Amino acid sequence: MQTMRAMRLLDGPGRPLRPVREPVPEPGPGQVRLRVSACAVCRTDLHVVDGELPGARPGIVPGHEIVGDVEAIGPGVAGPRVGDRVGLPWLGWTCGTCRFCASGRENLCAAARFTGWQIDGGYAEHVVADARTCLAIPDGYSDAAAAPLLCAGLIGHRALRMAGDARRIGLYGFGAAAHIVAQVAVHEGRQVFAFTRAGDAAAQGFARSLGAVWTGGSEEAPPEPLDAAILFAPVGALVPAALRAVDRGGVVVCAGIHMSDIPSFPYAILWQERVVRSVANLTRRDGEEFLALAPRVPVRTRVTTLPLDEANEALARLRAGAVTGALVLVP
């Protein structure tokens, strides 16, 4: 029997992942099995491991920014094929029949299941997935460089679209997602204003190297009113700060799946047709569009790789804010 290594949340939320060796899973109908070559570490993984996202399957294997090669195919799969290099994102399964799926909003499917939350993810040597969710990885990216595109890139891309045609865009929290979105925004002729932790010279220098026209602390006022702000930092107190930073008619996009409570704020900073909205998950169309766009920008991801066995160390570094760009686990 063929076995594999995986990192499982066996001891409950808030406890370290435990390394295990277990049988390699077999794909069922409509599924494929990948040999994982890279899996980026996302803040959502932290929310799962720390118990901030209820509903995680007991003993889950986290990880939803997965790049791998198809090595086995279950019955009824029309594509992809054995040997194809594909990516697996956060959206792991949808019903395909509800009113949200039928109207192109499968990201809102009430029955949806998510990779690394309800479906075992990529902190492992092999993973089984719904073949419909597999996305072709563009040429020109190594496995590790491509991995952050599958959530940091995809969710950032959806958030940028939610900002409309905004020219002056503030990015709150300059981590994995923002460093990708900034490149796309500059490519589209927008101005990027990067908000980081106060005094984080490394993050601010990184943002300027990617074309940001201004950098500052997250509580600072930008030098001119913004047309839109995108919040990647999961800090509810940044919502009123961003509302104060955007001009009348501006939009504040909350891009995370989890955020601390938003404090009360005066209606005056929402008035004059300012908008606060959230981004939930992604659609397969989002994935196809962004992975076609990324090579044209071209988006260049900054990654630091770690072996699979150091998954807990990777999460600790992310929790401490000690990451520039993205961390990627390599089995």
| pLDDT confidence tier of residue 207, bands split at 50, 70 and 90 | very high
Residue identified by tokens 């074309």 is 211
Q: Which domain holds residue 222?
A: 153-278
CATH number, domain containing residue 157: 3.40.50.720
The percent of residues in the chain predicted with pLDDT above 90, rounded, is: 98
Same domain, 9 and 129: yes
pLDDT of 86 > 90? The answer is yes
**β-strands 3-8, 275-278: how paired?**
unpaired
CATH number, domain containing residue 290: 3.90.180.10
Averaged over 178-203, what is the pLDDT?
A: 96
Same domain, 219 and 107: no
Same domain, 219 and 244: yes
pTM for the model stands at: 0.95
pLDDT of 89 > 90? The answer is yes
| pLDDT confidence tier of residue 304, bands split at 50, 70 and 90 | very high
Hey, how many other C-beta atoms are within 10 angstroms of the C-beta on 213? 16
**Nearest residue to 170 via CA among 190, 153, 189:** 190
- What is the number of domains present in the chain? 2
pLDDT of 213 > 90? The answer is yes
Averaged over 228-246, what is the pLDDT?
A: 97
Same domain, 8 and 82: yes
**pLDDT, tens digit, 9 for 90 and up, residues 67-84:** 999 999 999 999 899 999
Same domain, 39 and 139: yes
Same domain, 178 and 263: yes
Same domain, 216 and 251: yes
Which neighbouring-strand residues pair with 38? 67
| pLDDT confidence tier of residue 239, bands split at 50, 70 and 90 | very high
Same domain, 73 and 171: no
User: What average pLDDT is seen over the chain?
Assistant: 97
174: helix, strand or coil:
coil
